[in-house]
Amino acid sequence: MPRLIHDRITWLAYAQLGLWGFFLYGFGPVVPLLRDEQGTTAAVAGLHSTGLAVGALAGGALFAPTVRRFGRTPTIWLGLAGVAAGVAGFALLRPLPATIAVVILISAAGTQVVSGVNVVLTARHGPAAPAALAEANAACAGMGILAPLVIGISVNAGWGWRPALAVVVGLIALVALAALVLRERRPMAATAGAAARTRVTVAVPRANRPLPRAYWLAWVLMAVTGSIEVCLSLWTADVLRSHAGMAPGGASAAVAAIVCGMFVGRLVGGRVALRFRPVPLLLAALGVSLAGFTVFWVATAGWLAVTGLVVLGLGNALHYPLAISLALAVAGDAADQAAGWSAYSMGVGFGIAPVALGWVADGVGPHLAFLLLPGFIAVAVLLAVRLGRALPVPAPVEKPAPAPA
């Protein structure tokens, strides 16, 4: 069984992905509130998700060239600086075109963070990468628990959502300062040794070359499961308000139930991923997601709907970590190229699914529109089965010959 070692670079990568998680999971509950401010329809408000998609496409295109120019670690920090600048602008601006434009900037910068962390952890941990990526995304989900709660508290207190979302700017500055202080305090010999190891991790990526069929199956799978996650992030609060009778502030805060489930699922999943193969584990996770969605969708009481969201989050927890770990594993030494392309898959999911759901919701209401999600889950199951068939069969472990008598 592979072993996961938690070194300084691993913990820093977890923290960096967590910073992006604060914005990403806080952004979903903000969209309905921003829609109320701007007086738009659900479909028009969904254009903010399209902004996320456009930014992800731009970030994916820029990732490999940026890594070739600066290296993986500086690319992650440049991405976090872009997120901080973008969030500050998002909190200050009011018109719809301006907020969409800033969301594009934030998403492009955040894609640099996500892609960089994925590749660094994959290169660092090898066979244990699925577990490391699950834990990194647990850190992301952990910060995602905090963001909707802070936003809900801020809205209920009458301060609005802007001060709460801007908290991420201060958190990015704190983590950057901590990383700088810890680097300065390390002995010179240790620093030199770490630098030698890091040079291996940030090697210049290979030029573009064809990626295997299994990678593209994982790519489509990421797009479909990303559609599930972003639709839940953006429109769950609306369903809780319209179908479960929750107040706006409470509904926004209750979105954290999904992220709570994801946090627990990724913590536990990191250990489980060391023992089970990724595809069967992914199929089990999709089954849990469907069960949780069923409870959430039929519930008319707030507490029962929130319970369903927790179960849904438990299932969703492993969708992305397992899919991206499979994608990067089959890409081999073209990991930077594969990570850049993976951003396009998330861009497709983020750009199309929420707008489609919002368009349907304008006609039949958000509750009925949410029936698109079981369809996404069914497609993800089919893709996971095909991916399992396309993956190379692991070589059997030969038993040692018995010792001569």
**DSSP string covering 250-294:** HHHHHTHHHHHHHHHHHHHHHHHTTTS-HHHHHHHHHHHHHHHHH
23 vs 396, more confident: 23
Residue 76 CA to residue 129 CA, distance in Å, equals 18
Per-residue pLDDT, averaged over 68-76, amounts to 90
Taking a C-beta distance cutoff of 8 angstroms, is the pair 90, 165 a contact? Answer: yes
Q: Which residue has the higher pLDDT, 332 or 345?
A: 345
Task: Return all residues near 246 (Cβ < 8 A) that are at least 6 apart.
Answer: 240, 254, 302, 305
Gyration radius from the chain CA atoms: 21
Q: Mind listing the pLDDT tens digit for each residue in 119-147?
A: 999 888 888 888 888 889 888 888 877 88
How far from 132 is each of 77, 195, 274, 363, CA to CA, in Å?
Answer: 20, 21, 10, 42
Looking at the chain, the whole-number percentage of residues with pLDDT higher than 90 is 27
Q: What is the mean pLDDT of residues 27-52?
A: 80
Q: Give φ, ψ of 270 to 5 degrees.
A: -60, -40
Tokens representing 138 are 């647990």
Query: Burial level of 128, CB count in 10 A (0-12/13-18/19+)?
Result: buried
Contact 269, 318 (CB under 8 A): yes
How far is 14 from 184, CA to CA, in rounded Å?
A: 20
Tokens of 84: 């901080």
pLDDT per residue as tens digits for the range 244-286: 888 877 887 787 788 789 889 988 887 787 788 888 999 999 9
- Put simply, whether the predicted model's pTM sits higher than 0.85 gets the answer no
Residues with Cβ within 8 Å of residue 387, at least 6 apart in sequence: 214, 217, 218, 221, 279, 326
Read off the pLDDT of residues 157-213 as tens digits, 9 standing for 90 and up: 888 888 888 889 999 999 999 888 877 555 443 443 444 344 334 444 445 567 888
The pLDDT, as a whole number, for residue 1 is 63
Output the pLDDT for position 393: 57
The pLDDT score that the predictor gives to residue 328 is 84
Average the pLDDT over 357-383 and give the result. 87
CA distance 46 to 120: 32
- pLDDT value for 193: 42
Neighbours of 4 (CB within 10 A): 20
Closest CA to 165 of 91, 98, 55: 91
Q: How many percent of the chain have pLDDT more than 70?
A: 89
Q: Which amino acid is at 12?
A: L
Q: At 378, which helix (H) or strand (E)?
A: helix 372-390
245 CB contacts (<8 Å, ≥6 apart)? 300, 302
Q: Is 245 left (phi over 0), alpha (psi -120 to 50) or beta?
A: left
CATH of domain 8-390: 1.20.1250.20
Quick one: pLDDT band at residue 392, thresholds 50, 70, 90? low
Cα atoms found within 13 Å of the Cα of residue 225, Cβ hemisphere only: 31
pLDDT at 402 over 80: no
**Measured CA angle at 191 (ends 188, 192), to 5 deg:** 90
Q: What 3-state class would DSSP assign to 160?
A: coil
What is residue 61's predicted lDDT score, i.e. its pLDDT?
85
Amino acid at 311: V
